Structure 1
Amino acid sequence: MNRDADPDVKTVALAVTDGMLHFELSLALEVFGSPPVTVAHPWYRLVLCGPAPVQVGRFRLEPDHGLDQLRHADTVIVPGWADVDEDPPDDLVDAVRAAHDAGARIASLCTGAFVLARGGLLDGLRATTHWAHTDILAERHPLVEVDPDVLYVDNGSVLTSAGKAAAMDLCLHLVRLDHGSATANAVARRLVVPPHRDGGQAQFVTSPMPAPGNHPLADLLPWAIERLDQPLTVEDLARQARMSSRHLGRHFRQVTGTTPLQWLLSQRIRRAQELLETTDQGIDLIAETTGMGTSTTLRRHFHRTVGVPPDTYRRTFRTRGGVRSEQQGPS
């Protein structure tokens, strides 16, 4: 496994060992191992690294390489750790730390954060894990700024996620960083999951998360997405949903984890990303199409949310090859 063998193909290595949670491992295999048919550029080279064979839940896996080969990967994924009462094995911790020192991007899913924390990779950084274990992580590793109220945290070269569904959110976030919003959305459509939940959303809500299509906003959300070019207000949404603005805000918190206006802004930014990646429309037209009004407003919100100006974002993902038209194949 050579990180420099083909610079257009990034290597994602899953660090596997006895005691890993099979759900987080499986979703990482699905996201990084299976490109959507609409992707026009090279996908990831996915490998499993670990002592052979390893027991993951009820299954035994035969890794492709030993843990020492993690240092040759571009990205290392550390799935959830089953027993947080026990320290993760030294060989795993040492190999993940060596990969980070060699320049790899390290991402933990769920309780995989305990591996990163034990290796010192989270010292002085903000991090998260499954809400049921954040107190243990904070107590055991006091140098880590543990945030129990987010889906995932991106520190650049080190990323951590909460549990289960939030692990999927982080995997899609990595795809978005590498290949753009349109590609990440294509992956999400194939897996039938939400295309984008901001990392700062709450990972735990007092009411259970309703099933897709079985909640008070099931008709309102697609209605609003089809009208992003219009200057929608909270009152417009409440009127369409036939409820008061106060009740609308409560339902938005329960269903999306955020406010109606913040949700609208996120959808407008996501639409702008797709248009920048897949069309030649000018910034003024994109601002109008996404309901931002002016290019100045679009640039301000886009830069603050995405981290780069729209023009820079377009150049970056046009250079990487983009996504083929939807008419050329299903997602």
Structure 2
Amino acid sequence: MERNVLFPFLDKIRDPCISDTNGNLLVEYNAENGGSSVQGGIISQSPKHMLIRFTDDFFFLSTSKKAANGFFSRLKRGFREYNCSMNEKKFCMNFDADHISRFSSNRMYIGEDGISFLRWSGLLINSCTLEIQADYTRYLHIHLGSTLTISWQVKPGRLLKAKLCAYMRPKCHPIFYDSNINSPAVVRLNIYQAFLLCAMKFHCYVCDLSSICNLQAVYYSEIIQKSFRYMHKLIWRSMHSVSQGSNFHPILHLKKEEVEWLGFHAYIRVLNRKQSRHRELLSLLRSKLMMHVIMDGTSSQLIYAIDDSHSSVFWKIKY
């Protein structure tokens, strides 16, 4: 379908003379392809547009409104010869398409800071800057505790420590921390948001665990701080693994002290809403934060990261 239909169509509608002065145009498309499996990857690239596919989810980026409109119209028509059609509930665009009546989408996410994002394959893509954040909106309509598996084995403390590390792994992908892609402020925001989710899961886990044991606040504080160090080490390793054997080299400008500072703020912010249960732990974390020194001082990027307006989705999650 790509080789015989999409590529020739994109070549035909290419228009170097028409471009949108408001920024890049994006279209997301989810295809129902009769159950056949298609491998993902970058499938078309030129100076004027890019088409990316992950399995059956397409992502189209262009500086030409004519190309974006044309691509969307082609998807609307479907591909009968391939038993493939657009899923009308899963498309999203960041511009007003021409000649569209019954098609509308509410899948754009707009935060309290006014920044708009397109959702695609678990990511939030800034529709103006193309910076990448993780998509946490899937947690909005469930209680976070329902996503956890609580183990009742002999050593609950050791298992909780392992769980905190496991919560961090999916959010340590280089795409969130590469300075080729994201500004310093967004890199730190991604770290802060990963810790916010981890702190919420920590609270849910501790609540369920309390029916069989109550660990000391000092112990909780120690394993939380170890998770901060683990996060920094994991980010460094994942970035380094991309550099090996590749012409593309991600850039990481991040200090361990910054990761820990963001971690402390995230846990204090989350647990403060449940302070009746975590009063002693909060006191320990606040004292640790006061003693935590960043050599260059608290940067504007760190202040940006912990601003609630940039993480507004979290305060709607039930935990």
Q: Which has the larger radius of gyration?
A: 2
TM-score (norm 1): 0.31
TM-score (norm 2): 0.32
